[in-house]
Amino acid sequence: MPKVLARILDGSAIAAQIKQEVAEEVKRLAAQGVRPGLAAVLVGHVPASEIYVKSKVQTCRELGLYSDLLTPPDTVTTEDMLDVVRGLNDRDDIDGILVQLPLPRQVETKVLLDAVLPDKDVDGFHPVNAGRLQAGRPALAPCTPAGIIEILKRSDLPIAGQHAVVVGRSDIVGKPMAMLLLHENATVTICHSKTRDLGAVTREADILVAAIGRPGFVTPEMVKPGATIVDVGINRISTREEFDRYFAGNAKRLAGFEKRGSTIVGDVHPAAYELAGAYTPVPGGVGPLTIAMLMSNTVRAAKMRRGL
């Protein structure tokens, strides 16, 4: 019997759909005299963060949202940053506040994130939004988990009644992911580094979400044949030994690796994808949804703040 090829879930195409919907909603709001606004706070000069924030600001421009970029120096103190956030909290033209992480060591990250008004917390990190999400009330949910739900729904993959296993328990992905799946009527198991016989648990998953931050951590023997695999990981590898561990024999990937000196691998070993019924690739899977959902959250925040 011929092997059935796993279905690749195209995150870029789904992100493009969501952005188009956001642009249309922005036009509708403009007719009511409302223009959603996003403020991004980028401290110092971290090249990866600069590229990411630039992409967010550019996307705002493309979709018709107002954007403001604030760039405090990397010598900034917690109190200085709190003043920046308070100023943004008070501005009526700003509906969403994004503080780009990581912050310099001298800045107390949790204190700062807690200072953002929950109604403007488009990253969904504030304890109030976490509580609203847990209680099933209207909330701004973290962008990556919210994007994963969109991938599953828009790909017509069933969630209700499925056994979903989330590997990773971070406040940003793992915990909110489990809660969103639960709200969609999945049966949810959360695993982590202390889970005994992890493979036995992941092999039960109809939907397997890997968000543990370790390259190629989920191996083929940990996957149930036909499962939907959602790979949240983005891990950069730069040695030939690492490359061969994950991509041996992949000539196209090798050409890119040799040209750039590095490539990225998810939290799932590429060999495990072959067992899946459907999977999100790395890159081009979950990643593009994060910015799309940030735009969606900003529009949602603008509407919620105004009771629209």
> What are the residue numbers of the active site?
56, 100, 123
CA count, 13 A, side-chain hemisphere, 124: 30
Task: Judge contact between 83 and 70, C-beta under 8 A.
Answer: no
Query: Tell me, what DSSP letter sits at residue 126?
Result: S
Contact 289, 15 (CB under 8 A): yes
Burial class (CB in 10 A: 0-12, 13-18, 19+), 239: exposed
Strand order in the sheet with 187-191: 7-8, 278-279, 228-231, 207-210, 163-167, 187-191
Q: How many Cβ atoms are within 10 Å of 79's Cβ, its own excluded?
A: 10
Whether 210 contacts 267, CB under 8 Å: yes
Number of H helices, E strands in the chain: 12, 11
Q: Residue 2: CA atoms inside 13 Å, Cβ hemisphere, count?
A: 3
